[in-house]
Amino acid sequence: MVNFLDVTTYILKGSIFTIELYFATIIFCIPLGVIGALIKVSNLKILGKVVDFYTWLFRGTPLLLQLFFTYYGLPIIGIRFSPFTAAALTFSLNYGAYFTEIFRSGIQSIDKGQYEAAKVLGMNYKQTMSKIILPQAFKRIIPPTCNEAITLVKDTALVAAIGLQDLLRAAREVVTRDFTITPFFIAAIIYLLFTSLIVMAFRKLEKKYSIYE
């Protein structure tokens, strides 16, 4: 007979890694996306081409392939990472590419007249972006950013491919060992709780920034 408490505890231990990878990715990919977006909307043409290539590469190839390349491919040329570092680096670069395009589209959706109005008021580029453009753009990018944040929760399951013990792998191990589907239901509930918290957080942000509508 399956001990529900023991199974849940074991799966929750796997979820600790999922949470660690999730926040490690968020911490790095969002600033990366902001920087990439600002470069793409600037007049820095050479850097813009570099960012274009970066987003094209990471959005156009599977995340799992990128993970394999970082963990299994780079050691061939002498570059080695621990499993967690390889996963965090790959996920950050991948999601940074998606956030770059999301943030760019948000910035470019703001009417050009507002740039001109800011210039008339004597604002420089930095003041215009920080006080006028970015707050409005941020409001518009909340829904797609929320979608990517939820997708990231599910994508963390890919790390099982390089031997890391995430939430889903822990559940699968119990299913194989005890021949019961209960762990999958437990894992599903944990994923749903996690994504529900993310949705709640983004709804609060959306409400907070609704003043810019």
pLDDT (tens, 9 = 90+) of the chain, 213 residues, equals 457 788 888 889 889 999 999 999 999 999 999 999 999 998 889 999 999 999 999 999 999 999 999 999 999 999 999 999 999 999 999 999 999 999 999 999 888 888 888 888 888 878 888 888 888 888 889 999 999 999 999 999 999 889 888 898 999 998 888 888 999 999 999 999 999 999 999 999 888 877 555
* Nearest Cα residue to 185 out of 199, 172, 196: 172
Question: What is d(CA 123, CA 107) in angstroms, rounded to the nearest whole number?
Answer: 17
What is each CA distance from 61 to 51, 58, 86, 131, in whole angstroms? 16, 6, 17, 36
Question: What is d(CA 173, CA 18) in angstroms, rounded to the nearest whole number?
Answer: 16
- pLDDT score recorded for residue 19: 93
Our CA angle for 36, 148, 167, nearest 5°, is 125
CATH-assigned architecture of domain 4-212: Orthogonal Bundle (1.10)
What is each CA distance from 43 to 39, 40, 56, in whole angstroms? 8, 8, 19
Task: Extract the tokens encoding 25.
Answer: 């990715």
- pLDDT score recorded for residue 30: 95
The model's pTM is 0.90
Question: What is d(CA 115, CA 35) in angstroms, rounded to the nearest whole number?
Answer: 19
- pLDDT score recorded for residue 14: 86
Domain layout of the chain by residue ranges: 4-212
Question: What is d(CA 179, CA 2) in angstroms, rounded to the nearest whole number?
Answer: 9
**Other beta carbons less than 10 A from residue 165's beta carbon:** 16
- pLDDT score recorded for residue 2: 55
- pLDDT score recorded for residue 180: 85
- pLDDT score recorded for residue 7: 84
